[in-house]
Amino acid sequence: MALPIGTTVRAFAPASVSNLGSGFDVLGLAVDGAGDTVLARRIAEPGVRLDAVRGDGGVLPTTAEANTAGIAAKATLELAGVDIGVALELDKGLPIGSGLGSSAASAVAASWAVNLLLGKPLRKRDLIEACLEAEAAIAGRHADNVAPSLLGGLVLVRRVDPLDVVRLPVPQGLVLAVITPDLVVHTKMAREVLPDAIPLPSLVSNTADIAAFVTACFTGDLTLFARSIGDAVVAPKRTELIRGGAHAIEAALAAGALGSSVSGAGPSLFAFCRSQRQAEHVARAAQDALRANGVESRVLLSPADCPGVRQV
Amino acid sequence: MALPIGTTVRAFAPASVSNLGSGFDVLGLAVDGAGDTVLARRIAEPGVRLDAVRGDGGVLPTTAEANTAGIAAKATLELAGVDIGVALELDKGLPIGSGLGSSAASAVAASWAVNLLLGKPLRKRDLIEACLEAEAAIAGRHADNVAPSLLGGLVLVRRVDPLDVVRLPVPQGLVLAVITPDLVVHTKMAREVLPDAIPLPSLVSNTADIAAFVTACFTGDLTLFARSIGDAVVAPKRTELIRGGAHAIEAALAAGALGSSVSGAGPSLFAFCRSQRQAEHVARAAQDALRANGVESRVLLSPADCPGVRQV
């Protein structure tokens, strides 16, 4: 049952780190401490309205039809088969174009807020499809950000059409350091540097690494985990787009990170660490390396196993 | 301590199914009921001698320097750092060029037999390197047959240089049907049909599938297991080399197999089944499909979780 007209709910959707080395377009991980918030109010007139977008520096579309929050809200209503009216206010807590699933977080927060207004007829898993529609309109039809932002934790997107998503366990106690250089890398540009064709040995290397990564997630073997965060295909190309990126990854590894690479389209970098203390040390090392290249950066530390979208 | 001069030991090394869909060059599974046997006798004069090769129809090299059994035996002595003399007799229980790791089984049986003669100074895992040397001389430097033939069960070869091999769990109760068409497909030809470069979407699809396959091995989710035995790159090309192969795989799936594809370089086909009875049914269906294409075949049914090399 939908809540009465005038009711408001608020949902927070976390940022997400995608790819994680060899999992280009198929692996994503929810992050804590950064994300987007959507306030949804039930209104009398049917349809979705976007009343406010804050924290984006004025760069995001402000109509419900063009903003991922509005698109996902509308798709959620359609998925639920309910024709109520919803007014949204979006608070961006995530930098745009940072490789941390900013557009996905907006979509997920809006989708969950609408589902809450409807009395929760749908499960989080059902909402992936609605959020994917929003992503498809803006960033490409991939679910490796919306799925972890919805479900939390580590998610494998086996297929997008038809959707086939599996949650994976995260080795206990890991801490993720996310370093976001103060640079803009557009998703489109990050897609354009990708090779159209890759050599067969790179396929072998990446399939071997993702298989080992998944194995390590189940067994908790951190040395195997550390060996498996490699990518012969995508990360090297995207790292080239990030001034100081290669140095920062090297510095993170030298400082003890289990693995480090580019998150999604970049420029954010991530590093898996064994403890909070190590993560602080690793983040500092990566920041120093970026600074030596003239690039300032922000750091986010998060447990590696985090919840997904929730009411706040 | 090496056993006295004149002592004989006998080792049996099982066949193996490699690739398993998306795991080209990285996944292999030991099979029961077919394999090679090596009798090793300690002799006075140092070095490795190959006294007999039986069951190969006269096509295999008969010198210790050219036969994988001899090469692996020599490499095992070197690995152990012991300079005794060994005379080998090889009984081929595996058809050659069938895609079931025939050269690997000879190497593994010889390596283990030599290790037994030496008083077992080395673990099975240590012997992968010695057997890999033999494979490199004959079939290419890949470990996806020698590793499962040694260790048993399902094995992930993360890297060959340096060697990085991980055992994976096999879902309980699965039965493997192996169908070997009466055709010759040379490994070299099977390698030549491989594309030099593959499109990026095939990388995404194969990494997604192998990640899902490994997940299913750990969770025992057989529906996920069934969805994940796909390969966008290698199996389709190799199936083309097998007359009736595509029909046989279709027939196996239609008969209820969880997944079916080409084993290694082919022409053997494999199908994972839920029970012995289903495996019999699936194998018959695949054989009928091959026969409709004018191709006779042999069938081997095996539990999916089998031991590796052993003394017999």
Nearest Cβ partner of B214 from A197, A198, A215? A215
Res B1: pLDDT: 82
Interface residue of A22, A29, A158, A163 to substitute, partner B, most B CBs within 10 Å? A158
Give dist(CA B39, CA A104) in Å, integer.
Answer: 63
Interface residue of B156, B170, B202, B207 to substitute, partner A, most A CBs within 10 Å? B207
Torsion angle in degrees (nearest 10) through CA of B181, B223, B19, B271: -10
Please tell me chain B's helix, strand, coil percentages from 3-state DSSP, rounded to the nearest 5.
35, 25, 35
Nearest Cβ partner of A197 from B23, B158, B197? B197
The active-site residue, picked from B76, B133, B135, B239, is B135
B228 to chain A: which residues are within 8 Å by CB?
Answer: 158
Nearest Cβ partner of B211 from A26, A224, A227? A26
CA distances for B296 relative to A291, B102, B248, B269, B290, angstroms:
68, 20, 12, 13, 7
CA distances for B179 relative to A31, A43, B234, B275, angstroms:
47, 64, 19, 16
Tokens of A20: 């994680």
- For residue A190, give how far its alpha carbon lies from the nearest alpha carbon of chain B (Å): 14
Burial-class residue B123 by CB neighbours within 10 Å (0-12, 13-18, 19+).
exposed
Q: What is the pLDDT along chain A (312 residues), one digit of tens a residue?
A: 899 999 999 999 999 999 999 999 999 999 999 999 999 999 999 999 999 999 999 999 999 999 999 999 999 999 999 999 999 999 999 988 899 999 999 999 999 999 999 999 999 999 999 999 999 998 889 999 999 999 999 999 999 999 999 999 999 999 999 999 999 887 677 778 898 899 999 999 999 999 999 999 999 999 999 999 988 888 998 999 999 999 999 999 999 999 999 999 899 999 999 999 999 999 999 999 999 999 999 999 999 999 999 999
Binding-site residues on chain A for chain B (CB distance < 8 A): 22-27, 156-159, 164, 166, 168, 194-200, 202-204, 206-215, 218, 224, 227-228, 233
- Whether A209 sits inside 8 A of B158 (CB atoms) is yes
Catalytic-residue membership of B135: yes
β strands within B98-174, DSSP E = 154-159, 164-168
Interface residue of B170, B203, B206, B234 to substitute, partner A, most A CBs within 10 Å? B203
Give dist(CA A218, CA A287) in Å, integer.
Answer: 31
The single-letter DSSP state of residue B67 is S
The active-site residue, picked from B68, B76, B180, B187, is B187
B187: pLDDT strictly greater than 80:
no
